[in-house]
Amino acid sequence: MGAFWKAFGRNRLAIVGGAVVTCLAVLAVLAPVVSPWDPNRPDVKKILDPPSRPHLLGTDQLGRDVLSRMLFGARVSLAVGFVSVGIAAFIGITLGSTAGYNGGFVDATIMRLVDLMLVFPRFFLLLAVLAFLKPSIWTIMAVIGLTGWMGVARLVRAEFLALKEREFVLWSQSIGASGFRIIWRHILPNAMAPVLVAMTLGIPAAILTESGLSFLGLGVQPPHATWGNILNEGKDAIELAWWLSLYPGLAILVTVLSYNLLGEGIRDALDPRLRQSRGRIVSRGG
């Protein structure tokens, strides 16, 4: 762990990304406390007010405070990102470890299922599923998670194929350890590094997906605020109220960029080859 934190600490962009992600998470958790206004409280006297001291990011078509709605929208967007990635990781780890450890017919069957899922464009698959379901935050989480596990499954399978021939696995098999114990106690902990990176990079992808669905009116429904449906409401008044499109768009941009920087920093710090190459570069520079 010491080598990881040392390598991570040298990556300034990753530190910036981690700091922004942490601040967003804190603001999302404390949204009921730090929001200056009730996010769903309309005020007909302040419809489409530009940014001002009472309303730092302006108001929308119903006179609701945009800053308050964005803070509560951060809770929804981050919750969708974490929960959906958690669902995808659980499915991907389970199927990928099963395929990689057992091989043969089991491996071929699971990987053909992965190939079948990858044939369909994910966003259009989401649209097709949501056409038959009632849009809600729980539906969005489940659907994004159930359509996003294939990459994790392939990563875990590749790691298992490499690790199951290692000495510690062969020794565990020789003393009669069950396959379940070998998978979850011995191989999987050593295969989690790429999975952790994939999960970190999967969160912004899930946030973008939720924002896109909400922008199209198929995501979380009003009056619940998300960055996507704030953008959707702002497109009809973009010439009069530019702030309804600018600030949610910037929030999505900064969040996605920060998670990507954090994920790439974790990947670089976990990869010994990258750590060694960075070390040689630093030593030459010195």
DSSP secondary structure string for all residues of 137-150 = HHHHHHHHHHTS-H
Kindly tell me if the per-residue pLDDT of 279 is higher than 60.
no
Higher pLDDT: 221 or 266? It is 266
Mean pLDDT (whole number) for 17-33: 92
What is the domain range of residue 253?
2-285
| Whole-structure pTM value | 0.83
| DSSP tag of 221 | P
Kindly tell me if the per-residue pLDDT of 257 is higher than 90.
yes
- CA dist 158 and 168 (Å) reads 18
The confidence score (pLDDT) of residue 68 equals 92
- CA dist 275 and 9 (Å) reads 12
pLDDT tier at 285 (50, 70, 90 boundaries)? very low
DSSP helix/strand/coil, 65 = strand
pLDDT tier at 108 (50, 70, 90 boundaries)? very high
Nearest to 193 by CA among 111, 257, 118, 274: 274
- CA dist 51 and 54 (Å) reads 8
CA 133 remoteness from chain centre: 23
DSSP assignments along 6-57, one per residue: HHHHT-HHHHHHHHHHHHHHHHHHTHHHH-SS-TT---GGGTTPPS-SSSTT
Q: Any bridge partners for residue 65, and if so which?
A: 59
In whole angstroms, how large is the CA radius of gyration of the chain? 22
Kindly tell me if the per-residue pLDDT of 217 is higher than 50.
yes
- CA dist 270 and 139 (Å) reads 34
- CA dist 32 and 16 (Å) reads 26
Alpha helices for 164-271 (secondary structure H):
167-174, 179-181, 192-215, 227-235, 243-270
* Residues 6+ positions from 27 with CB-CB distance below 8 Å: 34, 71, 74
| DSSP tag of 188 | G
pLDDT digits (tens, 9 = 90+) for 125-178: 788 777 787 777 888 888 889 888 998 999 999 888 888 777 777 777 777 777
Domain count, the chain: 1
**Tokens read off for 44:** 């007909």
Decide: 159 and 196 in contact? Cβ < 8 Å: no
Higher pLDDT: 93 or 235? It is 93
Q: Is 286 exposed, middle or buried (0-12, 13-18, 19+ CB in 10 A)?
A: exposed
What CATH number does the domain containing 194 carry?
Answer: 1.10.3720.10
The mean predicted confidence, pLDDT, of the chain is: 84
CA triple 274-280-286, angle to 5 deg = 135
